Chain A
Amino acid sequence: QVQLVESGGGVVQPGGSLTLSCAASGFTFSRYGMHWVRQAPGKGLECVAFIQYDGSEKYYTDSVKGRFTVSRDNSKNTLYLQMSGLRADDTAVYYCANGDSGSYPYWGQGTLVTVSS
């Protein structure tokens, strides 16, 4: 069955850096675009980054442009999100999700990033 397992979250000071990972299994990872979707505490869902199946296209929401970098290693079936210049409003649970036909059929369990001094 499809599994998406995020890791790498934690507590970081404002201005700090963190790299999230998402290990995928149960589907052909290299055929799908992958998304990072975040959810601030008590808030809704927001797509913050996307990478095409082959890495040829990337998208970032405006608030993270220049600070976050999405990448993937298809040989390891792993998605990454490098985050730098972290701010308090980046505090959220970060989910990875595979994008398929205008939808997110599968989600990981999420990893919590807390930006606090």
Chain B
Amino acid sequence: DVVMTQSPLSLPVTLGQPASISCRSSQSLVHSNGNTYLNWFQQRPGQSPRRLIYKVSNRDSGVPDRFSGSGSGTDFTLKISRVEAEDVGVYYCMQGTHWPPWTFGQGTKVEIK
């Protein structure tokens, strides 16, 4: 299975400040069709996961533009340009290139300082 490694696992952030989460995969996530299936999910406390980003950098409908994804190959990053209170939760990266199975990172807990 492809191992997804996130860092940091805990991220205290001041409101209005930027935040960055790294995700590394044990294999390249470039699919044979040329696409890179790297996703980011947000899970607020007590809620189901919600997809924020797909194929590295595509924001889902309704996702604020303060969220951005970047990266290639095995190294990826989720950035929040200015953290707001509603951004508190756990963020997961997930690869959908290599099957089976699709695999998740361990999660990064974002909290307000």
Give chain A's interface residues, CB within 8 Å of chain B: 35, 44-47, 50, 59, 61, 95, 99, 101-105, 107-110
Contact = CB atoms under 8 A, between A and B. Distances in A.
A32 B100 CA distance: 16
A45 B96 contact: no
Given A47-B101, A95-B49, 16 more contacts: A44-B105, A44-B106, A44-B107, A45-B94, A47-B102, A50-B100, A99-B96, A99-B102, A102-B97, A103-B54, A104-B41, A104-B49, A104-B51, A105-B60, A107-B48, A109-B48
A113 to B, nearest CB: 15
B25 interface: no
Give chain B's interface secondary structure class: loop
Contacts of A101: 35, 37, 54-55, 96
Nearest to A109: B48
Contact of B104 (A46, A50, A59, A110): A46
A102 B37 contact: yes
A110 B43 CA distance: 13
Contacts of A109: 48
B31 A102 contact: yes
Contact of B51 (A47, A50, A103): A103
Given A45-B104, A110-B48, A104 B94 contact: yes
